[in-house]
Amino acid sequence: MNGVRLSDIASAATAAAVAIGLVLALTPDKTPSAPPQPADTLSLRLPQAEHEPPTALFIGDSYTAGPGPRELSPSCLAASRLGWLCHLSAVPGTGYVSGGPSNRFTVDDYRGESTSFSERIPLLANQFDPDIVILDGGRNDQFPPRANVLAAMVATIADARRAWPEAEIVFERPRFLSRPNDDLGFDESFTNRLLRDPDARGVSVIDPIRAIDGRDTSNLLSDDGIHPNRQGELDLAAAITASLVDQRFAADA
């Protein structure tokens, strides 16, 4: 653990942007994604860590993973632009509730039965010691009552805190690129209730897809009309990067 905070990233945002290339540290996840075009988004020089760059762990769904190689996922593209090493645990169809005991399903022949975000944490804690943990889900959790989803989100944050007590915990608000102005019922009131819970105190909240609202996103979608295409992945990665840097979230905010 390097002890690097998101507030350090905010301080570094005033430095000149430079192009950086980083080797990503990846989990043995088998989720695929399409090769991107050359990135044209912001690259930042972060304060030099004493030993290694900060490490981020993204826990999420198919939006987190993208449809191709893990290193080219929107999540890891954003991490690389911030100078972070990237670990990824992203399983299609899962969420804080979806994929768990009340909604178990078979992911595929390789991964077998699904797991919710919180169910993955013990195994991930044995594998990784991240500086930043980004929880990116909720898109697949629209079927249970909102109170149940809220409780599951809070419990997942608490589990992440116990697993990685020194890590920065980031909650990414769920949206679809096809309708960036739709909060899926996870509105400001919902988010405020989440943050008022003692177990979620100090959590940083980002809402990257909301920044794309007002644009015609039809050219950013794959043939299913839901998931990003190659350009959509790049735009989503840029939005995640901007949310983590420009919004200046910090653990004690």
Average pLDDT (126-140) is 97
Q: What is the model's pLDDT at position 154?
A: 98
- Choice between 145 and 51, residue whose per-residue pLDDT is larger: 145
Q: What would the pLDDT profile of 159-204 be if each residue is shown by its tens digit?
A: 999 999 999 999 999 999 999 999 999 999 999 999 999 999 999 9
7 pLDDT tier (thresholds 50, 70, 90): low
Structure tokens of 43? 């690259």
Task: Return d(Cα 188, Cα 74) in angstroms, integer.
Answer: 25
- Round the average pLDDT of the chain to a whole number and report it: 83
Structure pTM? 0.79
